Amino acid sequence: MRIGIVPIEDPHFGGVYQYSATMLDTLRQWTAEGGTEEFVVFSDTIPRDASRISINRKWIVRSRLEDEPISWKQQTLDFLRSAIGEGFHREALRILLGRAAGKEQQEADLNRRNRREFGSEQLRREGVELMLFPAANPLAFETDIPYVMAIHDLQHRLQPEFPEVSADGEWERREHLFRNASRYATLLLADSEVGKEDILNFYGEYGVTPDQVKVLPFLPASYLKREIAQEERQRVRTTYQLPDRYLFYPAQFWPHKNHRRIVQAMALLKDRGMRIDVVFCGSHEGKVRYRAFRDIMTLASKAGIQENIHYMGYASDEAMSGLYAEAVGLVMPTFFGPTNIPVLEAWALGCPVLTSDIRGIREQVHDAGILVDPASVESIAEGISKLWTDERLARDLACRGEARLATYTPDDYRQRLIDILEEGKIRRCGVHEKVGSR
């Protein structure tokens, strides 16, 4: 069977990029060792010799699935439709906006059908019988090819107060995407039992059943090096001018990542006579992230700790292993889960973990990290103080993290992924009628 894959190729996408890299690397190795499936990778940027997002040389690589541009009128109607939901409200909308809106609606539906038919024809030409999406993508339900798709979080439903999942139409965009993707999926992937529970809680009413949601836990990014020579450690220190001791947080500057309370905790500890250095890396592009970044840096300046904040911008994949290995600990008091890849990466590099005592993360970490209340500056400060000063505790946490990581190996991940694809192959025969009725 030919299986199509649409990976996330841009490293600036963070976790979903890492997830794509791990998934493709696993399938590449499986194919090289005798796996019988054929894969078609839809990509605009992957070279055949890529070292991070890697493919098997026997695979077919095609340009990313084409899509026609959507007019601003159609975008407006799509937004309104997703905002008001389904049912009689849609008829009320047509009456409210008049015949013009009704005509635009018909044109939008026709254009969407045309795009679906065009995309489906493109996939059929390649002989694709099942699609695999490492991240939610509207292409999944805009074609009539059965698909397996990952849903990494539903925070727009759980915590809509954060602008990155709700502002400027983002809530409606996400809801339209996740609702339809769930409704028409052959199988869905969740990172944990908590993630599966969320999918069923919010989209079970649209026909998603427990046996359709498969748990495929995260792994540390496949490009990390577990063994790091002293020369590499020193190169990373020199290149990024790292302080002697530092806490590390690799995260884009979304408000939910909670950089602000880390800085507030550092200020609180400074007032108590303790200076902490923290290294941040990650993008601050875009309106929401730039505002958060500016607020954090202003706060640090007012607190007199600006010299203790080391922002290195985007860090290359090659540097990440050294940055984790040299850190006193990972500090990650995020509000979002259910589970997070940096925790696993820290464990893989012997880096002690401080993260959030919230649903999902609590189950992921157990006793292999310091768990803090992400809403409490005092709790974060107390956790940082323990991590910074108690070397015995730090060593113990690193050992517990290593032991916990060993309970789920790359071999476990590969077998689960293969089993999921096998089930997708079996189920695909029964979903054509469901898909064709959209």
C-alpha neighbours within 13 Å on the C-beta side of residue 231: 0
CATH number at residue 15: 3.40.50.2000
What is the C-alpha to C-alpha distance for residues 110 and 66, in angstroms, rounded to an integer? 17
Q: Look at residue 63 in the predicted model and tell me its pLDDT.
A: 76
Please answer whether residues 111 and 68 qualify as being in contact, where contact means their C-beta atoms are separated by less than 8 angstroms.
Answer: yes
Q: Is the pTM of this model over 0.75?
A: yes
Structural domain includes residue 350 = yes
**What pLDDT, on a 0 to 100 scale, did the predictor assign at position 101?**
44
Does residue 237 sit within a domain? Answer: yes
Clarify whether residues 51 and 157 are in a common domain: yes
Residues 206 and 268 in one domain: no
Q: Are residues 138 and 174 in the same domain?
A: yes
Residues 263 and 143 in one domain: no
Q: Is 90 inside any structural domain? A: no
Shared domain for 354 and 417, answered yes or no, is: no
The answer to whether residues 239 and 347 belong to one domain is: yes
Provide the CA 333 distance to its chain's centre, in angstroms: 17
Judgement on whether residues 267 and 282 belong to the same structural domain of the protein:
yes
Range of the domain at 321: 230-405
Model confidence over 28-78: pLDDT tens digits? 889 888 888 889 888 866 554 444 555 667 788 887 665 444 445 555 555
Amino acid letter, 407: T
Structure confidence at residue 116 (pLDDT): 55
Q: Is the same domain home to 143 and 234?
A: no
User: pLDDT value at position 45?
Assistant: 66
Question: Distances in Å between the alpha carbon of 23 and those of 28, 49, 67, 268?
Answer: 9, 17, 25, 42
Same domain, 132 and 158: yes
C-beta neighbour count of 233 within 10 angstroms? 16
Given a contact cutoff of 8 angstroms between Cβ atoms, the answer to whether 59 and 4 are in contact is no
**What is the spatial order of strands in the sheet that 187-190 belongs to?**
60-62, 38-42, 2-5, 128-133, 147-150, 187-190, 213-215
pLDDT value at residue 100: 47
- Residue 181's pLDDT is 94
In a domain, 149, yes or no: yes
Quick one: 393 and 422 in the same domain?
A: no
> Is residue 93 classed exposed, middle or buried when 0-12, 13-18 and 19+ CB atoms within 10 A define those classes?
middle
Q: Report if residue 80 sits inside a domain.
A: no
In angstroms, how far is the first alpha carbon of the chain from the final one? 25
> What pLDDT shows up at residue 357?
97
Residue 397 shares a structural domain with residue 382 = yes
* Residue 260 falls inside a structural domain: yes
- List, for the chain, all residue ranges whose pLDDT scores fall below the cut of 50: 48-51, 67-71, 86-88, 90, 94, 99-102, 104-105, 108, 110, 114, 432-437
**Does 290 reside within a domain?**
yes
Q: Are 283 and 394 members of one domain? A: yes
Query: Could you give the number of structural domains in the chain?
Result: 2
Asked if residue 93 is part of any domain, the answer here is: no
